[in-house]
Amino acid sequence: MRFGLVLPIQAAGTPIAPLWDEVVAEAVAAEAAGFDAVFLPDFHQARGGSLTSPLLLGAALLQATSTLRFGTSVLAAPLYHPARLAEDVAMLHQTSGGRFILGVGPGHVPGHFDLFGVPHRGRGEALERALAALRRALAGEDVALDGPAHRGAGPVLAGAPPLDVPPVWIGAHGPRGVARAGRLGDAWLSDPQRDVGTIGRLAEGYRAAAAAAGRVPAVALFRDGWIDDSERACRERWGPHALAVHRLYYNLGTYHRELEPWVDDVRDRADFTFDRLAPGRFLVGDGPTVRATVADWHERTGAGYVAVRLRQPGGPGHRETLQAIARFGAEVVSGPQ
């Protein structure tokens, strides 16, 4: 099992500049702790401001480290012009010595699409067009773009030899999305909302699609988590802040009754509890507990990778997160397997 760290893009009461310094320090700490990669989400219009432009920031994180990989988790590809995306991906992959993971998804928040003047409808097809254009561009071929949002034609890297395509991880949380990940991606990166039982069932369709496309399947879990002396300590110190994030997800409509039948039972914030959300979603406890949970999740989903998000916008803060990164590295990443 390999582990990645999903970095924060927002912290209550922390301005962008000092937050960025903390994020860089947490990436450096993750490398020292033995994590395989760090990841930045792609989110816009966050209330109070947040770190945006993950490709730009990722270049700086790669410069600050030497072996750590960087990935997007995940880039809302329809919001980006495919030719510009291909240029940025090519530069990041080449200048990092191959340490870049391109995590992409179709996006989902309608306001983000309104902001960039891109149709929300057909975003899955837009993602597929972007990936096709990326692969053609890096192969040295001309791209032809005639979609409802992005147009253009010609070579992206004129006269350059063909370039390798970085690993493409596709984020998806439903049957159509996981089938797309199987057809087009090098890995399926699950979202943090689905519990592992649901992910295990969706993984069957993902593996079938990958096999039909002649691809080797790989499942990566995006999970929220914290490490402390006990699950109770995690619940008390970290749990309320994780619940606040998942309540935002709920308000954005990312929980679906087809996959989470309990959604109709949620009438107010009091119904959105740690006991309801934690099983199969939150990776919490001391080192042995976290390792046992990861082993169980591997058995149930076949996942070989866990990208864990330790720090939540409300806390715990930077200093505690650095301690948690070191402890996670010592007790889970490098601990008894």
Residue-wise pLDDT for 10-24, tens only, equals: 999 999 999 999 999
* 17 contacts: CB under 8 Å, gap ≥ 6: none
Has residue 318 got a pLDDT over 70? yes
- pLDDT-based confidence at 186, cuts 50/70/90? very high
Q: Is the pTM of this model over 0.95?
A: yes
Q: Which fold has domain 2-73+167-333?
A: TIM Barrel (3.20.20)
Q: What is the pLDDT of residue 83?
A: 97
Q: Which residue has the higher pLDDT, 110 or 336?
A: 110
- pLDDT-based confidence at 185, cuts 50/70/90? very high
Section 317-321 average pLDDT: 98
Has residue 269 got a pLDDT over 80? no
Could you read off the pLDDT of 228-261 as tens digits, one per residue? 999 999 999 999 999 999 998 888 888 888 888 8
Has residue 212 got a pLDDT over 90? yes
Could you read off the pLDDT of 62-118 as tens digits, one per residue? 999 999 999 999 999 999 999 999 999 999 999 999 999 999 999 999 999 999 999
Could you read off the pLDDT of 119-177 as tens digits, one per residue? 999 999 999 999 999 999 999 999 999 999 999 999 999 988 999 999 999 999 999 99
Cβ atoms of residues 5 and 310 within 8 Å: yes
Average pLDDT for the chain: 95
